[in-house]
Amino acid sequence: MKHVSYYYTLFFLFPASCFFFISSCKKDDQSPTNENALALTPLALDLSYFEKQNDDSSHYNNALRSLAFWQTALNDSLALQKELYNTALNLSFEKQNEETRLVSCELSIKEKIYTVNLFNILKNDTIWIKMFVNQDTLYQDFLMIDGYESKISGEKSLLIYKKSADNKAVKMMLRQSNAEKGRAIYTNLMQGMKNGHYLESKDSIDGNYNKYLKLYDKTSGEKEIIQWNTNSKEGRMQSKPLYQDEQWKCWNADRKDQNCP
């Protein structure tokens, strides 16, 4: 994989409703942490603010509808990948040689046993990340995660694969850089109408709002911007595709429309 300049790829949190347990995990008794992966932290895009429904005609509900694809893509269709990666990442890595560290374990998820081999290979201050998965009827040495992280710049990139008719297909790339706190770009790579669409997330310092999302439609070239405050619960949206203008549309803590301050 070529380096993706400026950005790094993150990963998702798995839904709490998915049950799993860990067994037969190999651990390095001499080193409880992985020195090759100190910065490999499973981060997530938290869209829980948008779980509450409201009046169908409200600006808040327009934002909810605009996010529907990403809610499904991030929280549902990649649930297995998230669980396997995030769980393995939190285990102790076993030293294979001077460059390679490995987590090898079995995870039981929804009554299926998955064998996971998560490799971190350090070369020239770059950690190359590969996760292979086996499961009796679904996967045979399936490369589910493939990417890198720079230990110097903090640039990271992960490609996330799903099983397909052609054995595997790239589902998503998530990238982030250290240049801007909390900034991540989630790009859909599955073939279809939304191929190339991306969602950018970052911590905002824009007035009363501390969270920022930009949704980009590759087909039309249009973008939508959504901001909200995690404390006051107020929010606003800018969407030329919906409103035919670029004015902010605001809502209050109850997700009811209000005049923008």
Nearest to 12, CA basis, from 72, 114, 71, 82: 82
What pairing do the DSSP bridges indicate for beta strands 223-228 and 209-216? antiparallel
Instruction: Output the six-digit token pair for 85.
Output: 């990666």
CB 108 within 8 A of CB 99: no
Per the DSSP assignment, residues forming a β-bridge with 114 are 107
Euclidean distance between CA atoms 249 and 226, whole angstroms: 10
Of 74, 68, 81, give the one whose Cα is nearest residue 162: 81
Tokens matching residue 81: 């990948």
Quick one: pLDDT at residue 189? 86
For 66-77, write each residue's pLDDT tens digit: 999 888 887 777
pLDDT of residue 166: 66
Q: Pick out the chain residues at pLDDT < 70.
A: 1-44, 165-168, 176-182
CA distance 186 to 70: 9
How far apart (Å, rounded) are the C-alpha atoms in residues 14 and 76?
9
Half-sphere exposure (CA, 13 Å, Cβ side) for 240?
8
| 167: DSSP letter | S
pLDDT at 177: 62
- The reported pLDDT for the residue numbered 16 is 34
pLDDT number for residue 158: 84
Quick one: pLDDT at residue 222? 93
Q: What pLDDT does 42 receive? A: 53
